[in-house]
Amino acid sequence: MRRAVGLTRFAALTLLVPCLLPGNHVVSLRESHDHVRVSALPPEAADIPHPQVVTQLLREQAPHLADMPVQASHASGSSNWVFRVGDALAVRLPRSDDYVADLAKEVRWLPRLAPHLPVPVPDVVAVGQPSTTFPRPWAVVSWVPGELPLTLDGSQQELLAASLGGFLKSLHAVDTTDVPAGPEHWGYRRGEPVTETIDRWADHAAAALSDLFAPTGVREAWRRLRDVPAATQAACWVHTDLSEENLLARHDGQLAGVIDFGGVGVGDRSVDLLYAWSIFDAPARELLRPASGADDETWARARAWAFVGPGLLTISNYRHTMPSRAERLTSMVETIAAEVDIELR
């Protein structure tokens, strides 16, 4: 199986304070001006362009690729339509204007980051401009080979955890001296302690999921998780959405590639550990922690943010439209709660 960059920004709710969740749908909590974004477009919500549209775009703007076969990819996510171009390339078309900025970040920063990373990431092959054929910018990227790490056994998880930790160390070490930092540029990822706004989000999710989890259990788990220290390490490059859908593994479990850099930015490294409780069992998590260089404070922030962001809020918004993803995240939330001695149901 192969995957191309940018396929799954479903509800990558990367929870950092006070601007909390990079993802893809504005929910009612947006009134707080804290940039709560969940996915605005489920994959079926808009008509998929015909492959002939992609062929026409290539003829107009990348004619050296225009003779290659084009077919729609089942790997398309909620941010972009994805089309295979031959065996080694893919075209990504943003589904709406909301996702153009994510594509622009990938185009700008992937060429800078890729040489420093130990596994393949998508190469930007060509960038298309808006036209009468398609109204938004688009890109041709390389198609990264690998399997989604959804059914790994214990030994495979351990290999993935160790190799993912190495990837994170490399990414977080890439120089940021001439890169703008701070929320005015990236809008989130600052690593502050929990605010009352986040408490309200947790309370909202507890009520919305009362048929799934005991609200008192959710609130008590959050009370025990929420008191986390602020980030003290310097801001670094972060991917922000290292979920199962954006990691590619070899048959033995080793990390084979990383995709979807639409949320890339500079901020708190805990954001890249949120899905540790979804992807890995406890022994593999204990390997990931030192392999990634995470200190106790970083790990605590990641666990708290994971509980509310990729956990409760994503389940609340996607339990009916993306049941398999919601099921994995339900297990993640229960695992995190169990670490603070709370049973949610």
Identify whether residues 205 and 181 lie together within a single domain: yes
Tokens found for residue 71? 């077919």
Q: pLDDT tens digits for 116-128?
A: 999 999 999 999 9
**Secondary structure class of 157 (helix, strand, coil):** helix
Q: pLDDT tens digits for 216-238?
A: 999 999 999 999 988 888 889 99
Confidence of residue 197 (pLDDT cuts 50, 70, 90): confident
Q: Does residue 56 have a pLDDT over 70?
A: yes
Q: What is the CA radius of gyration of the chain?
A: 19
Does residue 176 form part of some domain?
Answer: yes
pLDDT of residue 8: 35
Does residue 307 form part of some domain?
Answer: yes
227 close to 49: Cβ distance less than 8 angstroms:
no
User: 89-94 and 255-258 as β-strands: parallel, antiparallel, unpaired?
Assistant: unpaired
Instruction: Please give the Cα distance from 78 to 12 (Å, whole number).
Output: 11
Identify whether residues 140 and 208 lie together within a single domain: no
More reliable by pLDDT, 189 or 203: 203
Confidence of residue 187 (pLDDT cuts 50, 70, 90): low
More reliable by pLDDT, 232 or 50: 50
Q: What's the pTM?
A: 0.85
pLDDT of residue 24: 34
Tokens found for residue 129? 């401009």
Confidence of residue 322 (pLDDT cuts 50, 70, 90): confident
Beta strands in the chain (DSSP E): 2-4, 70-72, 80-85, 89-94, 124-128, 138-145, 236-238, 247-249, 255-258, 265-267
Q: pLDDT tens digits for 249-289?
A: 999 999 999 999 999 999 899 999 999 999 999 999 999 99
Instruction: For residue 12, give the nearest of 4, 28, 24, 3 by alpha carbon.
Output: 24
pLDDT of residue 42: 45
As for how many domains the chain has, the answer is 2
Instruction: Please give the Cα distance from 51 to 132 (Å, whole number).
Output: 16
pLDDT of residue 54: 98
Residue 232, domain extent:
148-339
Identify whether residues 68 and 154 lie together within a single domain: no
Q: Does residue 16 have a pLDDT over 60?
A: no
293 close to 168: Cβ distance less than 8 angstroms:
yes
**pLDDT (mean) for 213-217:** 97
**pLDDT (mean) for 240-247:** 94
Residue 174 backbone dihedrals phi, psi, to 5 degrees: -65, 135
Does residue 239 form part of some domain?
Answer: yes
pLDDT of residue 192: 65
Identify whether residues 164 and 131 lie together within a single domain: no
Q: For the chain, what is the mean pLDDT?
A: 86
More reliable by pLDDT, 183 or 199: 199
pLDDT of residue 32: 31
Q: In whole angstroms, what separates CA 333 from the centre of its chain?
A: 17
Identify whether residues 173 and 89 lie together within a single domain: no
Q: Enter the DSSP assignment of 270.
A: G
Does residue 123 form part of some domain?
Answer: yes
**Secondary structure class of 26 (helix, strand, coil):** strand
Identify whether residues 222 and 243 lie together within a single domain: yes
pLDDT of residue 196: 85
Does residue 308 form part of some domain?
Answer: yes
112 close to 157: Cβ distance less than 8 angstroms:
no
Q: Does residue 88 have a pLDDT over 70?
A: yes
Identify whether residues 306 and 158 lie together within a single domain: yes
Q: What is the CATH number of the domain that holds 126?
A: 3.30.200.20
Q: What is the CATH number of the domain that holds 326?
A: 3.90.1200.10
